[in-house]
Each structure stands twice: as C-alpha cells, then as structure tokens.
Structure 1
C-alpha cells in the first residue's frame, strides 16, 4: 500500500507512522522536517510546507497514493486545498476530526457516530464540524473518497493527559503532584472521561487504511475504559508514589480565567462521555484497545523522566494555579451557612 501522511510526526500520527512502516507500507511523510528523530527507517520524507500549495503540487507531480491522511487540517479552506491537490490522485482521503464536535451539552453520555454535532463553546470543534460537512458534500456530489475519523483524548509518551494545564503541557502539574502541591480538577471530579493511548489508536487507524468499507463513513476511535477525573489524578499520583492534593473548582469559574478552558472544559472535558466503539470494531475486527491508563501513564512518566526536553516548567501557570486556589478557597470560607 502506498500512503501519504501530511504531518505524521505528531501526538496521534507518530504511532500510526510507526505501525504503518512496521507493516511494510510504502509510506511518505509530507512535512517541514522538524522532527526527523520521529521518522522510522524506510519512511520517505517529502520536505515541504502544505500551506505552500504550488511547491507541494510540484513535489507530488505524477504521484498516486492509495491513501492520503492529513493530520493538520483544521478549517475548510485547508480542506479545499487538499481536494485540489488530491482529487483523482488517491483512493482514500482520511480526515481527522474530533469527538469534541459532539453535541454540547450532551443529551446522552452514550456516544455513537450518530450523536449530533454541535459545540457552541469551542471554535476548534465548530471548524471540525464545518470540515466534516464540506467533506460529506464532496463525497456525495463529486465522489471524493473520504473517511472521517473522530478521536477523543488521545495521548502519547511525551505528555500526561490532564484536566487543567498551562501552555507548556503536563510537566508543571506532574511536579506539583510529586511535590505535594495542590492541583486543580474541574467540577467535582466525578464526570466520566475516556483516554486512549496513541498506539491503540494507531491499530484502528491503520485498519481503516485501504479499507473499502470505510469510504464515505465516519468512525470514532477510543478505548473502552471510562474513568472519572478524580480517578485519573489518583492513577497519576499512584504512578508517582504520592496522593494528589486535589482542589475542585467549578468549570464555569475556570472558563472565566482563559478562553482555552472555555473550549476545553465547557466544550469538552466537563461532560461525561461513554463511547460506543461498535462501528470501528466492525470495520477493523482485530481492533482492541489494550493499554489501560494505569499502564500508559507509567510508560509516559518513565519516558518524560528520561527525556529532559519534555520537562518544560511553566512558572506562569504555577503562579496562576496558586492564585486561583487561594481565591477560591477564600471564597469557600466565606460561604454563608444556612441554619
């Protein structure tokens, strides 16, 4: 199978690249070449910026791919560019959407591919919805061979999935837990969430590649493990050998602090979700997510410990966290009692 990945070295796509290479695919990555250490032996790299359409068109001249997957499309204009580049040049185009596109607030926590798409809280999600609608129109009207994939919270070895963190990722929160400092969890911490290791996601994704039954279909890919956010932080603490010192703060209050929390919490993590993976298991019968979070988090913590480049401190986030907790706990102390 001859495949082209646009990107191919990111949080989700690195594991897919590794698995596709291991299975002997003739694989090409089109990217800017910023992460050469993430490219397996035998994978071809076409160094280019996908936003330079003229250059990409020239570098792909005369090439046909069984599968094209673009991991860095976030708006309809980028999709239009891809359709110009790959119409008649691929048998399958895979678009990576997002489970955050599902209805918020949810009418039911049980999520299938037919759950409505609607997210007034997060522009990122609304853009993904618009992309899906445009692609479906291209499939119906012009037979452009699409497959839409919806991941939920997928993580790799370079970061720990968290409820609240700063711009530098998870390391600052890992340090806070390790050193007994207070950490923030939104709401009461009892909403259910699903975490998927990127190696599990890769198994399902690669199974969709070249799969004729996946053309024109939308498929969600997650693990079957549901955890509360309190459990997630307890599992991280267990892996670090400490009990996390959790402070619960309402999602609405946190959303006032940052537009990132507005989308990421009110538009996603604040809602209980339980994913029905029947469809992906029908399309890829061998798919089973096998990495429990308590296993995946230990692998990731070990990796981060051995790679200083992922130990990025975040003083701004630490200062904000301490201040937010101080303000919220002071407010709690002044709550009037009802006699």
Structure 2
C-alpha cells in the first residue's frame, strides 16, 4: 500500500509510522519537517503545511494514495480542507478523533462505539464531534471513504501520562515524586481509567489501513487493562523508584482553583473510562493489547533516564500544583 500520514511524528503516530514501515507499507509523511529524528527509516517526507491548502495541493501533485491518515485535524475547517484535497486522491481517509467525545457523564459505565457523542465541558471534544458529523455526512452523501478512529489516553517512551503533568516537560512529574513533593489527584483516586501503550495502538491501527470493512465505520482502540488513578500514580512512582505522596482534592475544587482544567477533568479524566474493544478485534482478528501499564511506564522512565537532555522540569507547572494544593491544605 501507498499511505500518506499528515503529521506522523506525535506520540501515537510515530509508533504507527514505525510499524507501517516494518510491515512493508510505502509510507509518506506530510509535515513541516520539524522532527526529523522521529521519522522512521524508510519513510519519505513531503515537506508541506496542511494548513495552507494551496501549497499542500502543490506538494501532493502527482500523488495518489491507497490510504490517507490525518493525525492533526481538529476542527471542521480542517476536515473540509481534507475532503477537498483527497476526494479523488485516496481509497480510504482515516480521521483521528478522540474517546473524550463520548457522552459526559456516561449513561453506562462500559463505552462502546454506539455510546452517544456529547461533551458539554470541552471544546476540543465538541470540535472532534463536529468533524465526525461532517465526515459521515460526506460519506453518506457522496461516498467519501472515511474511517474514524477514537484513541483514549495513549502514551509511549517520550510521554509520562497522568491527569496532571506538564505536556512540554513530562519529566516534571517524576522529578516532583522523587523530591517528595505532594502529587495532586482528582477525587478520591478510585475512578477507573484506561492507559494504552502506543505500540499496542499501532498493532490495531495498521490492521485498519486498506480494510474495506472499515469504510464508513467508527472504532476506538484501547487496552483492556483497567486501573484507577491511585494505581496509575503509584505505578509511575514505582517505575521512578519513589513513593508518591498523593493529595486528593475534589474535581470541583481543582476546577475552581484552575478553570483551565475543566475540559480535561470534567470533560475527560474525572469520568471513568472502560472500553469494549470487541469491534476493533472483529476488524483486526488477533489484536490484543499486550503492554500492561506497569511495564510500559517502566520503559518510559528508562528512556528518559537514558536521555538526560529530556529530563527538563517545568517550573510554572510545579508552581501551579503547589498553588492548587496550597489553596485547600
């Protein structure tokens, strides 16, 4: 297959890119060329900016792809551009949505692909829902060959997943644990959550590429392992050789102190997330997530320890954690 990834160098997409090349896929990445170290050997980079439709069209001139995957489409405007660019240029267009688009609060604890999409707390999720609606309308009205994939919290070597951490400096959480600073946890830490290693996600996702029965379908891809947030933070601590000092505050208190967390908490992590993966297993027979969180996070900490230049600490994030905790101590 000849496959185009728009983006392709993020936490999830870099694992998928590596596996796609290993499986013999002729892989092209359309991006701005800012992360050459994350491009797997054997992939070809097309330098371009998908946010500039005219230049993107010029870059793609003469190419046709069996599959196009857009890892960086977040708004209806983005997918309208993609529909225009790829309407006659691909046999399958894969949109990366989000499991945060599912109903908040949930009517049933187990999430399936038929769970309604509704998130009154997070604009990011509402935009993803609007993108899905637009793409499915295009599929129904003109046969645009869309497949929708909804990841939940997916991590890899370069990310340390938690409900509170610095996105730009993920080592901050480990550093905070190791020096014995208090670690903020929403609620009592017993709501359920699912962490998925990017290599597990990749194994399922690559099986969808070029799959005729995936056209017109939406599917989520997650691990089957279910943990609560106390277990997640303690697993991170064990991997880091530290016993985290967990401080529990109600989600409402946290949001009052820091309104910017409303979407990520009330619209996502404060709600238990347990997924029925029957559909992806039907589409990709043999798929099972095999990396438990305690093993995946151990690999992540070891990767950071082998890359001291990535062990940067976010002072402003630490100050914010101290401020929120201090407001209620």
TM-score above 0.5, yes or no: yes
Give 1:194 shift: 0.1
Give 1:259 shift: 4.0
Secondary structure, in 3 states, of the residue corresponding to 2:257? coil
Where in structure 2 are the equivalents of 1:1-339 lying within 5 Å? 1-329=1-329
Query: How many equivalent residue pairs?
Result: 329
Give 1:42 shift: 1.6
Separation in 1, partners of 2:166, 2:10: 19
Give 1:94 shift: 0.1
Separation in 1, partners of 2:160, 2:42: 30
Give 1:296 shift: 0.3
Query: 1:16-60, CA deviations, whole angstroms, 9 ceiling, x for partnerless residues?
Result: 000000011111000000111111222110011111111111121
RMSD: 1.0
Does the 8 A contact of 2:257 with 2:327 survive in 1?
no
**5+ unaligned residues in a row in structure 1: which ranges?**
330-339
Separation in 2, partners of 1:256, 1:305: 36
Q: 1:106 to 1:205 in 2, by over 3 A?
A: same
Secondary structure, in 3 states, of the residue corresponding to 1:40? coil
Does the 8 A contact of 1:168 with 1:313 survive in 2?
no
**5+ unaligned residues in a row in structure 2: which ranges?**
none
Give 1:167 shift: 4.8
Query: 1:141-166, CA deviations, whole angstroms, 9 ceiling, x for partnerless residues?
Result: 01000000000000111121111123
Give 1:319 shift: 1.8
Query: 1:222-252, CA deviations, whole angstroms, 9 ceiling, x for partnerless residues?
Result: 0000000000011111112221100001111
Q: Radius of gyration: which is bigger?
A: 1
